């Protein structure tokens, strides 16, 4: 609670407004976002939030890759995105 009050007093922002997906709504560059449904480190809802606010993005959900997301098929999709953009 003290941290929240500090940010509100110092910067006149509510700490709930300081989240990456809210900033993403202002991004214009193309993006590739991939998130695994079984990620135990960062929940899938976070990836969905970014994808829903970042207008110019390709969003892919995977299953079974966890947080590391090491997968040859996914790598090919990333390479394809990079080479086409």
pLDDT of residue 1: 72
pLDDT of residue 44: 95
How many C-beta atoms lie closer than 10 Å to residue 35's C-beta? 21
Q: How far apart are CA 75 and CA 69, in angstroms?
A: 9
Condensed to tens digits (0 to 9), the pLDDT of residues 28-82 reads 889 999 999 999 999 999 999 989 988 899 999 999 999 999 999 999 999 999 9
pTM of the model: 0.72
Q: How far are the Cα atoms of 9, 17, 74 from residue 2, in angstroms, in the given order?
A: 10, 16, 42
Q: In sequence order, what are the beta bridge partners of 32?
A: 58
Tokens of 36: 């695994």
Backbone angles phi, psi at 70, to 5 degrees: -80, 115
pLDDT-based confidence at 18, cuts 50/70/90?
low
Pick 19 or 60 by higher pLDDT.
Answer: 60
| Whether the Cβ atoms of residue 31 and residue 48 lie closer than 8 Å to each other | no
Domain boundaries, the chain: 2-84
Q: How far are the Cα atoms of 8, 13, 60 from residue 48, in angstroms, in the given order?
A: 27, 24, 9
């Amino acid at each position: 609670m003290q941290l929240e009050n500090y940010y509100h007093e110092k910067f006149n922002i509510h700490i709930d407004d300081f989240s990456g997906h809210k900033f993403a709504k202002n991004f214009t560059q193309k993006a590739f976002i991939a998130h695994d449904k079984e990620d135990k480190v960062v929940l899938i809802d976070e990836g969905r939030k970014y994808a829903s606010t970042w207008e110019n993005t390709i969003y892919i959900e995977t299953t079974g890759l966890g947080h590391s997301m090491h997968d040859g098929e996914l790598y090919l999709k990333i390479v394809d995105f990079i080479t086409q953009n």
